[in-house]
Structure 1
Amino acid sequence: MFSNSTTNGDLVRIPLKKARFGGGIGRIDSNVKSFDDVQDYLKTFIDQYVVNYNVDDDRRSNEDDIVALKNYGDGQYFGEIGIGTPPQNFTVIFDTTSANFWIPSSQCLSSVSCFLHSKYKSSESSTYKVNGKHAYIDYGSGSISGHFSEDNVMVGGLLVQNQEFIEATRDVGMNFLLGQFDGIIGLGFKESVGNNVVPVWDNMVDQHLVKERVMSFWLNRKGEKDEGGEIVFGGVDPKHYKGMHTYVPITHRGSWQFDMGDIRIDGNVTEFCKNGCSAIADTGTSMIAGPTVLINQINQAIGTNGIFTESCHLVINLVGRVIFETLANLVQPTIACIPFGPCLLEDKASPGIRNVIDRSDDVSSGVGAPILCTICKVIMRVIHDVIVNSRNIVLKLFGTICNLIPIPVGASIVDCARIPYMPIISFTIGGKEFQLSPHEYILKIGEGDDVTCYSGFISLDVHPPRGPLWIMGDIFMRRYHTIFDYENLRVGFAEAA
């Protein structure tokens, strides 16, 4: 199947090259020149959390099988699979948060992006079986639709027989167009798939292709090397990590969700998660995503959104002061009380006229009119003073809105020269701190003098009961080797080698 496949002992390895953003490698890489271009298709995998939720360290199985990954500019990692007989090769994202498996179909004729990717041709496979069930997946920023088919799938050295997958006849549009991948293989729990479809991983287990219900991810963080990383099915490779793994139990069946403790900025407790946080280990997301208010605070600490924040506060102050001045003028006693009548009569009527009115109107007779006017003025004066004296307090309160607005992608730029001086961000998992240095959480896009640096922290607001939620994507998993233990329903992290 794969001409470059190599075998080292019992481990099947597939060497893959690394592609860079804007590096001119691959089908459409020359069109990806900025983080704005890349963000659109990366958000496809983030958005699924908002709209669609449709091992011991020393063990090493003799039946381990490895799929090597390619690194697309530290943005996404891809591996190759084969479908059918003879195998038709595809580049896919291995996504642990979903169990869906889809590939572009040769019947996808109305989409430009389908013409730029490999497509499955059922007529050219002798092991193809008709299924025909309709399929639809909504990713929030796009969707795919098509029908289910069955065929043999080669993943690394493993041949999975009669695997159901989606032939996508309509794709996710621009997100798919910009991607270096042909499709997605979901390695998540089968509970997240409908139509009684058995996911690839479950078929591997049911067909006795792996000895243990464990898979592990190693994402290469050395940008100079072509090797992007490896997935090991059925075990772990001790060469991929240092020390022991810290394990935490899964708290939500159907995804790799676990409890996370506090987040620290340069060792300082933030109390972001003083009441506990939930997080998901996600190979299908490039960055680290979390609640907007918290992500903005982290980005402020690392200096990525200073311009945006200053502009936001400037607008609040300018608009707020205009509003308060207008309100204060409206409640000036000499103006506000005139429409009530008594003050109008007091200010403009002559004594003779007032005497006539006093005698003809019991309600306004005697000292009634002056008293009503005085009461009105006193009330308006109190309201006026409250507005004037509370202006700064209210403007400061409204200024917190700037910390609730998702920072635009363009505002997450950082000065590359400041990277060595940025703080260390750490996450507490299983009672242990997992640190990320600036060199690990800052993404560099471009080459040479055209390099632009961006924060690897982006906003994602998942509402209760599922949220708030943190997504620990590839930025985190590059630093920490990750074990997904289906047998014991736990996830483990150790420093990557």
Structure 2
Amino acid sequence: MSAVTHTHSLIRTPLRLPATSPTDSHTDMSKLLLLLLWTWTSLALVRVPLKRMRSIRSQLRADGVLEEFLKDHRPEMFNRRYAQCFPLGTPSLRLGRSSEKIYNFMDAQYYGEISLGSPAQNFSVVFDTGSSDLWVPSTYCVSQACASHRRFKAFQSTSFHHDGRTFGIHYGSGHLLGVMARETLKIGSLTTLNQEFGESVYEPGSAFVNSKFDGVLGMAYPALTEILGNPVFDNMMVQNVVEEQIFSFFLSRYSGTPEGELLLGGKDEELYSRPINWLPVTAKGYWQIKMESVVVQGAMTLCPRGCQAIVDTGTSLIAGPTADIINLHQLIGATPTNIGEFLINCARMSSLPHVTFVLGGTEYTLTAERYVRKEMLGDREFCLSGFQAVDIVSPEGPMWILGDVFLTEFYSIFDRGQDRVGFAFAKHPT
């Protein structure tokens, strides 16, 4: 945890000093200094370095078992549980088995470190704006996936509180099952007391065996919680340990240093170019905003009458309605594979159109270099589309998901105090 830094910001508060006698001045000044010191240290900006690692999908591909894995795990089962955008049973919802609440971490790439307990036990987690729960593997987990990850040992912690309740998070291949607890959570020098979290005792399927992360820390609104506790950032706000009710993400384009950063309690002006474009949250579950349109350079306009978009750091791709994504893939010459991916001829990259997302009147343009993913299989490079088809029809209109393909290019700011999302152009090293 030493790589996580704690940044203080000067808080200027007008202070009026009462008239004092010389004998009182030393005492009063001491009190004032203590007050200023408390103000300085009680509110924090905490930087969490994010590591960019190979996703589960890429690891399975490199091991030559991706196709076999996907035969046993239907592709649509890796759609996240976006059913909770609106009440269950809504007839227009189409997500395969719409009654299931499903996460997708097959393509998650960015992870950071947290610790739980006293003394601290470290875990690598996905900081996920598309969910709200915190869970890590338990030492009592019996699944194969847990054996290859760090596991929480409750009996070693003096601050552990057993909750007594159980929980289940639905996945396409089964349920992640566990028990609930409360514990001291540390992220860098920031401490949150009595944080509700889940200890998983059973993790379904074999996907998590290949994951580089131990667990997940959800950063969406409380409406999405399945563990029935306060999300981490909500507890930070209640306990008044962050300077502002804001967190922000910078995701690097490349592996190396720095690979990315989560800033808790504010935003870093060194990592983006002004201005910030603020967009109000339209539904307090996901970080959901309105999108005016998606324009494919010189060819077509998708979402012409406006639609909704979920800003999601826990998924790698950009997802949209099937009809729109099919048209887009046809236009850029992407060909489907038998495992649900779309291949693009790497030699055609320079001739592919730009794709522009219009949000709050501002255009956010991705070139092919940004929306095409390059991967290696042995010594062979191949190119994959960064777009994925997922049908989600909400009362507010068609739904898109802006994942890391989008968020890598733009600094993202999540403001719980004013229920809004901000975007600015990220400053990437040249």
How far 1:133 sits from its partner (Å)? Answer: 0.7
- Partner residue of 1:469 out of 399, 407, 415: 399
State the alpha-carbon separation in 1 of the partners of residues 64 and 257 from structure 2: 20
Q: Could you tell me how far 1:465 is from its partner in structure 2?
A: 3.5
Gaps of 5+ in 2: 10-44, 88-104
Partner of 1:19: 53
Q: Which structure has the greater CA radius of gyration?
A: 1
Q: Are the structure 2 counterparts of residues 425 and 47 from structure 1 closer, same or farther at C-alpha, using a change threshold of 3 Å? A: same
Post-superposition offset of 1:301: 1.4
State the 1:4 CA deviation: 3.7
Identify the residue that residue 435 of structure 1 maps to in structure 2: 365
Q: Counting helix residues as a fraction of each chain, which structure ranks higher?
A: 1
CA contact (8 A) 2:50 2:259 kept: yes
Counterpart contact for 1:23–1:29, Cα < 8 Å: yes
- Please give the per-residue CA displacement for 1:249-305, whole angstroms capped at 9, x wherever unaligned: 1111222111111211114442x2222211110111110011111111111111112
Residue of structure 2 in register with 1:385 after alignment: none
Distance change in 2, residues 1:143/1:234 (3 Å): same
Query: What is the aligned partner in structure 2 of residue 85 from structure 1?
Result: 118
AA aligned to 1:125 is: S
In 2, the alpha carbon distance for the partners of 1:450 and 1:38 equals: 22
Return the offset for 1:168. Answer: 0.7
Sequence identity of aligned pairs in percent?
Answer: 37
Give secondary structure in 2 for the equivalent of 1:177.
helix
Tell me by how many angstroms 1:29 deviates. Answer: 7.5
- What letter corresponds to residue 90 of structure 1 in structure 2? F
1:173 aligns with 2:103: no
Are 2:370 and 1:301 equivalent residues in the alignment?
no
1:296 maps to a residue whose letter is I
Q: Partner of 1:205 in structure 2? A: 237
Q: Is the 8 A contact 1:41 1:174 kept in 2?
A: no
Q: Distance in 2 between matches of 1:129 and 1:93?
A: 24
In the alignment, does 2:179 pair up with 1:147?
A: yes
Counterpart-to-counterpart distance in 1, 2:106 and 2:347: 20
- How large is the RMSD of aligned CA atoms in angstroms? 3.0
> In the aligned structure 2, how far is the partner of 1:209 from the partner of 1:439?
40
The partner residue of 2:246 within 214, 238, 257 is: 214
- Distance in 2, matches of 1:141 and 1:175, equals 10
- AA of the residue aligned to 1:459: A
Question: 2: distance between equivalents of 1:196 and 1:23?
Answer: 30
Residue identity matched to 1:77: Y
In the TM superposition, what is the alpha-carbon distance from 1:74 to its structure 2 partner?
8.2
Q: Return the offset for 1:411.
A: 5.2
1:274 aligns with 2:293: no
Partner of 1:100: 133
Q: Which amino acid aligns with 2:304?
A: K
Q: 1:251 aligns with which of 282, 304, 315?
A: 282
Which consecutive unaligned segments of at least 5 residues does structure 1 have? 55-71, 309-406
Q: Work out which of the residue numbers 344, 349, 354 in structure 2 matches 1:419.
A: 349
What residue in structure 2 maps to residue 76 of structure 1? 109
Change in 2 beyond 3 A, CA 1:434/1:482: same
Aligned equivalents of 2:260, 2:224: Cα separation in 1:
26
1:481 aligns with 2:403: no
TM-score of the superposition, structure 2-length normalised?
Answer: 0.79
Higher relative contact order (CA 8 A, sep 6+): 1
When residues 424 and 177 of structure 1 are mapped into structure 2, their CA distance, relative to the original with a 3 A threshold, is same
Alpha-carbon distance change, 217 to 92 in structure 1, aligned in 2, over 3 angstroms: same
What is aligned with 1:292? 322
Shift of 1:178: 2.4
- Measure, in 1, the Cα distance between the counterparts of 2:57 and 2:338: 25
CA distance in 2, matches of 1:12, 1:96: 17
**Distance of 2:69 and 2:243 partners within structure 1:** 38
Residue 449 in 1 paired to residue 392 in 2?
A: no
8 Å CA contact 1:428, 1:434 repeated in 2: yes
Aligned counterpart for 2:269 among listed residues 209, 213, 238 = 238
